[in-house]
Chains A and B, each alone.
Chain A
């Protein structure tokens, strides 16, 4: 006997593995076993094939790789005896799944076994096919299975029926082949065949409308009669489950009747009586009975209208809902969700019980109940239900809060009867579970607040109070910060006090305290801090007495490690210090945000892009501050640099957004709309937070090397540059518009900017190639708005005293470049620099900004009828092309 063959029995191996104390020990045992099995496999050791495979299955179950056993399965399946085949098929089903290619090799063995004389071998093959068949196998073996539906032994027929289900699921086209035989199975007596036959019919109806039609016509009556027989059958111990004869068959019959009755009045009529009988007679004290009732209720809800039956069904659900058993309550909630479309009144009656279920200790029930409550809400009960849910929010589990918050917000938004109620509820939710609120929800809240002009004072005071109590709720803090920035003066002056409010006295410095706490709080993230900075800037204007203190707070962020904050604080500081004249205009209140366009934007599938385009389209024609679509969201999308901002004009929105400024006052000297707009761009980008226009299109960028290669600085600068580039020469007044901007940025040095302009106008010419006989110079120009492509004008000069004829210039570029050569001005180059050939090239650099141009050239010409060839590489192109 082979010394390496595995001598340990399966039982011993399992014992050894179980005896292992550590995972490492277990791995060692498994490794050893695997090694002996491998050795045995490669020796083709027949005596232990059986045992080896059994061991492998166990090892597989522990989660170790066992792919080397796959071929063993195939060998065992191909063996003649039943014991080998039995374990082989088991291994096949365990170790392989339908996606493995090895499976294809087994198709032939399966085919043979499906035709075997031993019915148990046929059974094994059917079982394997039914459990792991792929679409190809299903197609290949469908005829065999079809034939087996008529096999003499019922145990094979039932397996064939289930196998057919797998086949038609994998290949729905084959459904029609099975319809006739499936319908025939419904006439059998054997329960196993009936069970599987009914299931097959149900699945056929699902995949093929023709099959549904056929079975509905031919079998509905028979099925009703069959169900009647089963329901009224006397006690049969073999099929009895707690006093009910074969509940499994009951359930499958009810399910098939549901499919047949759905959308067909005649079929529904036909089954009314029996459904009523099942619904009223089935015992509901055991799980089996409840399972049947549950199925029956679902069938009643799905078939065509019969109000009597529905009352019966709803009553059953009511009974279920008040049951002590959690399983029964769970399915009742599940069912009520479907019933709500049929009879919402009946479901409303159970509202109180359902609401109780939201507070259940069982997470599954809570989840179901919450979904159901969500469907139950309407205009009439929204206040009641919301109050209850918000009260519960306080005490609910941490992991449930997310779901609960989302649902409450959605309910409040959908059904709010008035704005004040909406704001009240949202603020409560924010105070309780602000950290679970999604961005779009609080963005929407701000839109609503902005629109409710009579509630500004009320809201800001409410928020002021709330934020004192719940400093940790980040979203609450953000909304509060925004509102204080906008409406801080109303907080101090108690403007627009409503009757229901308690009076409150807040000083200017209290207000600044809130912002200072928020910006310094350890949980505040970049967005919150950035919002604080803007709010502070705004307050500095509204509360002149606190201006110095605010400046101090802002300056503290000068050293922030976050570039965004650092930059903003420098800029804002500069605004406060040096630009008193435009500050009040900059810090004006935001225009009212447009609700309808915001909701459109939220609904849209590509929200950011779509509506910012929309927004700019709206504002472009007149170029003056009008509340546009995009604003709010852009303001709030503080860190979304993923949205490709289409064009500089987009910036226009931003400015208004952020600061609510009508720039015309600040730039009144700039006569035309045109200038005004470009002025806006720069300011705007200057102030926009973290929104980097991804496709900024200004060549000036490269000229400006500030050593801050981040998106944000580029965005600000490109915005700045846009002032100059976008201001066309046709606008002589451009300088007027330009100057305040440059001033604003004095920290960044305007000189570079000017240089950038020059650079943009002309890159220096270069001598690209020079030999003893020839000189090639290049001039560069770019088309504005197309950063990637460069126009190169190549000039060739003959340095020798002979004329060159048949002059051909060729060039090659690496893959990231695209080259287009225009025809040369001539193919003859006069001697001694007496003239030149010019040729235009257009190069598009797809890696613009990352790689610079490079080109290989070849120049061929004839000198005294002799071919001359010159080659070279140009790598001295100006940087930034």
Chain B
């Protein structure tokens, strides 16, 4: 089970966090600080796993971002690397060659995508296309609602209420 997911920039700034196990706010800050210290300082050729508080943290660096997932001791670390890659590919598909700035300004969209890939700390969907389709459908729903709200007839009906 994935206990939490962190996206940390090379400077140690948090870009996205998702907690599937309960951590209090204070604890979260501590965890992030501790792990970013451990992970950012590791050399480039070392393995992608660090042992931490009886868990394993699997991390992978994509450009300036570190994707980190904390899993149980007996989870398959290599698979977690695949899951991270899966997530990155879908982000890439959605944003079109994703970069850190995309994730900063559209962090909520990154979360929406994540929620279609992971849930309750487990993988939800192995098809990138399905995830993309689901996200698009929901984005369309939002757009439709916005359009309706901006339409003249809606404004009139609101005004005459």
- A: residues with CB less than 8 A from B are 11, 14, 18, 54, 57-58, 61-63, 65, 81-83, 86-87, 90, 93-94, 97-99, 120, 123, 126-127, 130-131, 155, 158-159, 162-163, 165-166, 191-192, 195-196, 199, 238-239, 241, 246-249, 251, 255, 287-288, 290-291, 294-295, 298, 326-331, 334, 361-365, 367
Residue with the greatest number of chain A CB neighbours at <10 A, chosen from B82, B105, B120, B138: B120
A120 to B46, CA, bound (A): 42
**Contacts A14-B105, A131-B20; A90 near B127 (Cβ below 8 A):** no
Q: Are B138 and A86 in contact (CB under 8 A)?
A: yes
A62 to B112, CA, bound (A): 19
Q: Are A62 and B14 in contact (CB under 8 A)?
A: yes
Proximity bits, B99-127, A CB within 8 Å = 1, else 0: 00000110110011001000110111111
27 contacts between A and B (CB under 8 A): A11-B105, A14-B104, A82-B145, A83-B142, A90-B112, A93-B18, A99-B22, A126-B119, A127-B115, A127-B119, A130-B120, A159-B119, A162-B122, A191-B125, A192-B127, A248-B86, A287-B78, A291-B82, A298-B76, A326-B45, A327-B47, A327-B78, A327-B81, A329-B47, A364-B49, A364-B50, A367-B51
Q: Are B78 and A196 in contact (CB under 8 A)?
A: no
List residues of chain B with CB within 8 A of the CB of A251. Answer: 76, 79
Residue among B47, B79, B107, B129 making CB contact with A295, cutoff 8 Å: B79
Q: Does any Cβ of A come within 8 Å of B29's Cβ?
A: yes
Residue with the greatest number of chain B CB neighbours at <10 A, chosen from A62, A87, A120, A327: A327
Q: Does any Cβ of A come within 8 Å of B62's Cβ?
A: no
A328 to B130, CA, bound (A): 31
Q: Are B130 and A287 in contact (CB under 8 A)?
A: no
Q: Does any Cβ of A come within 8 Å of B137's Cβ?
A: yes
Residue with the greatest number of chain A CB neighbours at <10 A, chosen from B46, B86, B146: B46
Shortest Cβ distance from B111 into A: residue = A90
**Contacts A61-B17, A238-B127, A248-B82; A81 near B145 (Cβ below 8 A):** yes
A328 to B20, CA, bound (A): 27
List residues of chain B with CB within 8 A of the CB of A163. Answer: 119-120
Proximity bits, B71-111, A CB within 8 Å = 1, else 0: 00000111101110010000000000000000011011001
A61 to B13, CA, bound (A): 10
List residues of chain A with CB within 8 A of the CB of B82. Answer: 241, 247-248, 287-288, 291
Given A192-B127, A287-B82, 10 extra CB contacts under 8 A = A62-B14, A90-B112, A93-B18, A131-B20, A163-B120, A195-B126, A196-B124, A199-B122, A251-B76, A363-B46
Q: Does any Cβ of A come within 8 Å of B24's Cβ?
A: yes
A63 to B6, CA, bound (A): 14
List residues of chain B with CB within 8 A of the CB of A131. Answer: 18, 20, 115, 119-120
List residues of chain A with CB within 8 A of the CB of B130. Answer: 155, 192, 238
A166 to B141, CA, bound (A): 28
Proximity bits, B39-83, A CB within 8 Å = 1, else 0: 000010111111100000000000000000000000011110111
List residues of chain B with CB within 8 A of the CB of A329. Answer: 47
Residue with the greatest number of chain B CB neighbours at <10 A, chosen from A65, A98, A330: A330
Q: Does any Cβ of A come within 8 Å of B23's Cβ?
A: yes
A11 to B29, CA, bound (A): 24
Q: Are B146 and A83 in contact (CB under 8 A)?
A: yes
Q: Does any Cβ of A come within 8 Å of B134's Cβ?
A: yes
Q: Does any Cβ of A come within 8 Å of B35's Cβ?
A: no
List residues of chain B with CB within 8 A of the CB of A65. Answer: 25
Q: Are A239 and B126 in contact (CB under 8 A)?
A: yes
Residue among A58, A94, A196, A364 making CB contact with B47, cutoff 8 Å: A364
A238 to B14, CA, bound (A): 32
Q: Are A249 and B119 in contact (CB under 8 A)?
A: no
Q: Are A330 and B104 in contact (CB under 8 A)?
A: no
Shortest Cβ distance from A15 into B: residue = B105
- Sorted nearest first, the 10 A-B pairs with minimum C-beta distance are A291-B78, A326-B47, A130-B120, A362-B46, A166-B120, A162-B119, A248-B126, A83-B142, A291-B79, A330-B47
List residues of chain B with CB within 8 A of the CB of A247. Answer: 79, 82
Residue among B78, B79, B124, B141 making CB contact with A162, cutoff 8 Å: B124
List residues of chain B with CB within 8 A of the CB of A165. Answer: 120, 122
List residues of chain B with CB within 8 A of the CB of A326. Answer: 45-48
Residue among A98, A126, A191, A255 making CB contact with B127, cutoff 8 Å: A191
Q: Are B124 and A18 in contact (CB under 8 A)?
A: no
Residue among A99, A331, A365 making CB contact with B24, cutoff 8 Å: A99
Q: Are A120 and B137 in contact (CB under 8 A)?
A: yes
- The SS class assigned to the A binding surface is helix
List residues of chain A with CB within 8 A of the CB of B76. Answer: 251, 255, 291, 294-295, 298
A249 to B82, CA, bound (A): 12
A124 to B128, CA, bound (A): 19
Q: Are B122 and A239 in contact (CB under 8 A)?
A: no
A82 to B149, CA, bound (A): 13
A674 to B136, CA, bound (A): 92
List residues of chain B with CB within 8 A of the CB of A94. Answer: 111
Q: Are B134 and A155 in contact (CB under 8 A)?
A: yes
In whole Å, how far is A77's beta carbon from the nearest beta carbon of chain B? 15
List residues of chain B with CB within 8 A of the CB of A291. Answer: 76, 78-79, 81-82
Q: Are B20 and A246 in contact (CB under 8 A)?
A: no
Shortest Cβ distance from A248 into B: residue = B126
A772 to B47, CA, bound (A): 93
Shortest Cβ distance from B141 into A: residue = A82
Q: Are B125 and A98 in contact (CB under 8 A)?
A: no
Q: Are B141 and A120 in contact (CB under 8 A)?
A: yes
List residues of chain A with CB within 8 A of the CB of B17. Answer: 61
A349 to B25, CA, bound (A): 48
List residues of chain B with CB within 8 A of the CB of A130. Answer: 119-120
In whole Å, how far is B97's beta carbon from the nearest beta carbon of chain A? 20
Q: Are A191 and B126 in contact (CB under 8 A)?
A: yes
Residue among A58, A93, A328 making CB contact with B107, cutoff 8 Å: A58
Q: Are B20 and A98 in contact (CB under 8 A)?
A: no
Q: Are B127 and A57 in contact (CB under 8 A)?
A: no
A163 to B122, CA, bound (A): 10
A183 to B125, CA, bound (A): 19
A184 to B129, CA, bound (A): 25
List residues of chain B with CB within 8 A of the CB of A241. Answer: 82, 86
In whole Å, how far is B2's beta carbon from the nearest beta carbon of chain A? 11
A54 to B108, CA, bound (A): 7
List residues of chain A with CB within 8 A of the CB of B49. Answer: 327, 330, 364
List residues of chain B with CB within 8 A of the CB of A365. Answer: 46-47
List residues of chain B with CB within 8 A of the CB of A126. Answer: 119
Q: Are A248 and B14 in contact (CB under 8 A)?
A: no
**Contacts A98-B22, A251-B79, A331-B78; A90 near B108 (Cβ below 8 A):** yes
In whole Å, how far is A269's beta carbon from the nearest beta carbon of chain B? 24
Residue with the greatest number of chain A CB neighbours at <10 A, chosen from B15, B51, B77, B119: B119
Q: Are B78 and A290 in contact (CB under 8 A)?
A: yes
Q: Are A192 and B108 in contact (CB under 8 A)?
A: no
Q: Are B138 and A120 in contact (CB under 8 A)?
A: yes
Shortest Cβ distance from A245 into B: residue = B126
Q: Are B47 and A362 in contact (CB under 8 A)?
A: yes
A772 to B50, CA, bound (A): 85
List residues of chain B with CB within 8 A of the CB of A361. Answer: 43, 46
Q: Are A82 and B47 in contact (CB under 8 A)?
A: no
Shortest Cβ distance from B133 into A: residue = A155
List residues of chain B with CB within 8 A of the CB of A288. Answer: 82
A781 to B142, CA, bound (A): 88
Q: Are A97 and B51 in contact (CB under 8 A)?
A: no
Q: Are B124 and A158 in contact (CB under 8 A)?
A: yes
A97 to B26, CA, bound (A): 12
In whole Å, how far is A441's beta carbon from the nearest beta carbon of chain B? 24
A94 to B115, CA, bound (A): 12
In whole Å, how far is B46's beta carbon from the nearest beta carbon of chain A? 4
In whole Å, how far is A197's beta carbon from the nearest beta carbon of chain B? 11
Residue among A99, A158, A298, A327 making CB contact with B125, cutoff 8 Å: A158
A246 to B15, CA, bound (A): 29
List residues of chain A with CB within 8 A of the CB of B77. Answer: 327, 330-331, 334
A596 to B127, CA, bound (A): 63
Q: Are B111 and A192 in contact (CB under 8 A)?
A: no
List residues of chain A with CB within 8 A of the CB of B22. Answer: 97-99
